[in-house]
């Protein structure tokens, strides 16, 4: 009996060790049924939403995505599109990229001087006055038109913006019917439940079904965005018409509208914090895919951030509303974060290599 008990204990210990090893291996390889978020280093626990079983099996074949951004014909918008397209071309050809075709969706209703440089589809703007001075409302309407008229070869679409710079080759971060999105710290559906419920009724589920995202950057299957886009447009317009919502959401109203529209269609996003960074708040570009230069970067000559006050050294896209920034912008002083230095270097490289830069 003593010898049998010893063998039994050894068997149980070995069996438990094997089971633990398999569990850890499966979690590292496929994720957890408790809900996961994804970083460049792999999967980690984060109770954002429950990932269905069919999503846990990783793709092994390539799934190219089409890069699409909406734009106006304003000089301010055009030079950003040129920088964005330059870096798209550089990163697309490198190993690890799943970037497919590219389209600038121009919602001015007429052609401009970049038609031969950047693949472009012209669509109509909203009817006069409908955007109420909030030009971003044209974005969902532009996607609705593009998806109806364009022949998109890729199964997936990346919704991007002119002020995005690709830092490295971008793989397809989506999995099947679950798009990939960047979580914005200022999009807080759970803290705005009273307003969200005007557009996302209780019968649709908890307000936590609304992801803390905007429409960009998002990699999504094109059949899903084709369903979501008309709802996104309608919710955007309804939000803008509601004074309480308009006041509460302000310049991020259209972002909330996309998040609500997705939830209305039962679409949940995989939240990727490595999808994008935003200087000056994010300090490093390491292991990030997209640099979003929406914020101004102001520093004194000691390399100290002076946000809210114009710095002795600065880079702010809004300083160049009437035309492109000059070539060879001065680099920031020592002590400024690597993300800001990289931003200026990449704008400089693009402007140095884009023909007729000054005529944007």
pLDDT confidence of residue 53: 46
**pTM of the complete model:** 0.84
If you average pLDDT over every residue of the chain, what do you get? 87
Mean pLDDT of 135-155: 95
CB contact at 8 A, 224 and 265: yes
The total of other beta-carbon atoms located within 10 Å of residue 190's CB is 11
Please list the residues that pair with 166 across neighbouring strands.
Answer: 290
**Where exactly are the structural domains of the chain?**
61-271, 276-353
* Among 30-39, 113-122, 169-178, 224-233, the least confident range: 30-39
CB contact at 8 A, 107 and 130: no
Distance CA 162, CA 76 (A): 10
Q: pLDDT digits over 56-97, tens only?
A: 444 556 899 999 999 999 999 999 999 999 999 999 999 999
pLDDT confidence of residue 128: 86
CB contact at 8 A, 217 and 174: no
State whether the Cα torsion 104-108-109-115 is positive or negative: negative
Mean pLDDT of 209-219: 98
Higher pLDDT, 352 or 31: 352
The total of other beta-carbon atoms located within 10 Å of residue 2's CB is 5
Was domain 61-271 assigned CATH 3.90.550.10?
Answer: yes
- pLDDT of 50 over the 80 cut: no
């Amino acid at each position: 009996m003593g010898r049998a008990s010893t063998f039994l204990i050894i068997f149980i210990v070995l069996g438990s060790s094997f089971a633990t090893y398999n569990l850890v291996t499966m979690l590292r390889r496929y994720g957890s049924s408790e809900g996961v978020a994804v970083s460049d280093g792999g999967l980690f626990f984060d109770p954002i939403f429950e990932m269905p079983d069919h999503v846990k099996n990783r793709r092994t074949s390539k799934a190219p995505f089409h890069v699409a951004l909406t734009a106006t014909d304003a000089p301010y918008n055009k030079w950003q599109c040129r920088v964005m397209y330059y870096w798209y071309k550089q990163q697309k050809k490198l190993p690890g990229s799943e970037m497919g075709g590219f389209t600038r969706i121009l919602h001015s209703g007429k052609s401009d001087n970049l038609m031969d440089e950047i693949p472009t589809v012209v669509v109509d703007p909203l009817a006069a006055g409908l955007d109420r001075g909030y030009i971003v409302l044209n974005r969902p309407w532009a996607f609705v038109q593009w998806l109806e008229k364009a022949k998109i070869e890729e199964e997936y679409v990346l919704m991007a913006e002119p002020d995005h710079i690709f830092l490295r080759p971008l793989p397809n971060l989506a999995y099947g019917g679950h798009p990939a999105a960047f979580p914005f710290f200022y999009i807080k559906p759970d803290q705005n439940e009273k307003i969200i419920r005007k557009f996302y009724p209780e019968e649709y589920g908890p307000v936590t079904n609304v992801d803390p995202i905007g429409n960009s950057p998002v990699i999504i299957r094109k059949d899903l965005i084709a369903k979501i886009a008309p709802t996104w447009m309608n919710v955007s317009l309804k939000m803008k018409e509601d004074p309480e919502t308009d006041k509460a959401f302000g310049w991020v109203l259209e972002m909330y509208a996309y998040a609500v529209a997705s939830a209305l269609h039962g679409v949940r996003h995989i939240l990727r914090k490595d999808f994008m960074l935003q200087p000056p708040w994010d300090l490093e570009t390491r292991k990030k895919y997209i640099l979003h230069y929406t914020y101004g970067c102001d520093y004194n000559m000691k390399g100290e951030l002076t946000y809210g006050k114009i710095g002795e050294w600065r880079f702010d896209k809004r300083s160049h509303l009437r035309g492109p920034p000059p070539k060879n912008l001065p680099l920031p002083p020592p002590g400024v974060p690597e993300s800001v230095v990289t931003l200026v270097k990449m704008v400089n490289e693009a402007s140095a290599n884009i023909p007729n830069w000054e005529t944007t």
